Amino acid sequence: MDKRSRIYVAGHRGMVGSAMVRRLHEAGFNNLLLRSSEELDLTRQADVEAFFENEKPEHVVVAAARVGGILANTTYRAEFICTNLQIETNMIHAAWQAGVKSLLFFSSSCVYPRLCPQPMKEEHLWSGPLEPTNEPYAVAKLAGMSMCQAYNEQYGMRFISVIPTNLYGPNDNYDPQQSHLMAALIQKFHLAKLARSAQVVLWGTGAPRRELLYVDDAADAAVFVLQHSTGKDPINIGLGRDWTVREIAEVVKQIVGFKGEIVFDASKPDGAPQKLLDVARLNGLGWKARTSLEDGIAKAYDWYLRSPQAAKPTS
Ligand SMILES: NC(=O)c1ccc[n+]([C@@H]2O[C@H](COP(=O)([O-])OP(=O)(O)OC[C@H]3O[C@@H](n4cnc5c(N)ncnc54)[C@H](OP(=O)(O)O)[C@@H]3O)[C@@H](O)[C@H]2O)c1
């Protein structure tokens, strides 16, 4: 990829897309094509084809998707499968028609089977039933990955699928209906600090293990993969280590500065006991994560405090 390449980052206002833009700029790639969903609705095939025809991107990053937490995934099942299939199909096909040099497709670790052996290796894909709560979303993501592979095989394209672990950082979604683990924890402890609460109650036992990667590290890995991978096989993006929810909550509590106690409500569900990616393939290419959990949470909290999403003290 040369520094003057025209790179289209779809979804540049989202958490992953905005991190990709920061990382590409930092690496000296400044010829970026960016469109909001209002400017270009990627579910509209004719508009997507016209965009590729007119703008002629050379490289494409697909970080646009309909994304959400467990509540959104269970409530909007039809929207999750339909919108994501439309975005992927339109983009991947238009990228082939336009003859782009490479395409990077962001998949998600929910594509692994519900009872996948841990840590999850790329070879475990397609080996068992999916988690039912987010099955429509996961099926759409698997379809996107399969499309990338099929276009590589039939047309000799370089369409790469990456499978990031749970991410957090700037531009994360703090809406309680949509948020993932880290945003939910930061918001909960922040609100409890403002209210001077004695306790924060968290669902489950605190025992499940979770891998969490700072989103700028994920973008760094993705740009690295775009530059160094052959593109034939999907690649996990993660740290290769995890923590219990209790350990993660303790770090968030300390960074937010909440002085009360953490209580786990074991009557509530825990979710999967562990979700950890095997990152041997990524490490084999020469990439390793750099941001510690403490530094990542401190940066994420700092962003949250400066964002309009942050809860303010009530006077
Ligand atoms: N967040 C995670 O922990 C995580 C982990 C693993 C993988 N991923 C993957 O990374 C990708 C991005 O996730 P994210 O967390 O960055 O999501 P996000 O913050 O919700 O951002 C998604 C972006 O997609 C764009 N978009 C949605 N529908 C669109 C449409 N019809 N037309 C054009 N653009 C559209 C939105 O653009 P506008 O802002 O312009 O509306 C938005 O900026 C997803 O594929 C997800 O599976 C995320």
Q: What's the pLDDT tens digit per position in 238-282?
A: 999 999 999 999 999 999 999 999 999 999 888 888 999 999 999
Q: What is the pTM of this model?
A: 0.96
Residue 194 is predicted with a pLDDT of: 95
Measured CA to CA, the distance from residue 203 to residue 307 in angstroms comes to: 26
Contact 1, 9 (CB under 8 A): no
137 is annotated as an active-site residue: yes
| Local confidence band at 70 (pLDDT 50, 70, 90 cut-offs) | confident
List, in sequence order, every beta strand (DSSP E) within 67-132.
102-106
CA distance 20 to 197: 38
Per-residue pLDDT at 122 exceeds 80: yes
Partners of 212 in beta bridges: 166
Q: Residue 15 Cα, ligand 1 centroid: separation in angstroms?
A: 7
- Nearby residues of 302 by Cβ (< 8 Å), 6 or more positions away: none
175 CB within 6 A, ligand 1? no
pLDDT tens, residue by residue, 199-236: 999 999 999 999 999 999 999 999 999 999 888 899 99
Q: What average pLDDT does this structure show over 76-86?
A: 96
Torsion angle of C-alpha atoms 170, 184, 106, 3, degrees rounded to 10: 10
Nearest-CA residue for ligand 1 atom 27 is 65
Q: Domain coordinates of the chain in residue numbers?
A: 7-168+212-237
The answer on pLDDT for 315 being more than 80 is: no
Is 3.40.50.11540 the CATH number for 7-168+212-237? no
Q: Which secondary-structure segment (H or E) carries 32?
A: strand 32-33
pLDDT tens per residue, range 284-310: 999 999 999 999 999 999 999 999 888
Which of 37, 51, 87 to probe ligand 1 with, by most ligand atoms within 8 A of CB? Answer: 37
Q: In 166-307, at which residue ranges do the beta strands (DSSP E only) sit? A: 166-168, 199-203, 209-210, 212-214, 235-237, 243-244, 261-265, 274-275
pLDDT at 179: 81
Ligand 1: atom nearest CA of 13 is 43
203: left (phi over 0), alpha (psi -120 to 50) or beta: beta
In tens, the pLDDT along 8-63 reads 999 999 999 999 999 999 999 999 999 999 999 999 999 999 999 999 999 999 99
Q: Is 36 left (phi over 0), alpha (psi -120 to 50) or beta?
A: beta
Whether 32 and 58 have beta carbons less than 8 Å apart is answered as no
| Ligand 1 probe mutation, 9, 12, 15, most atoms within 8 A of CB | 15
Sign of CA dihedral 295, 297, 301, 303: positive
Separation of CA 90 from chain center: 20
22 touches ligand 1 (CB under 6 Å): no
Chain segment 123-177, per-residue pLDDT in tens: 999 999 999 989 999 999 999 999 999 999 999 999 999 999 999 999 999 987 7
* Three-state secondary structure call for residue 225: helix
* Active-site residue identified among 8, 137, 168, 174: 137
Q: How confident is the model at residue 314 (pLDDT cuts 50, 70, 90)?
A: low
* 3-state secondary structure at position 191: helix
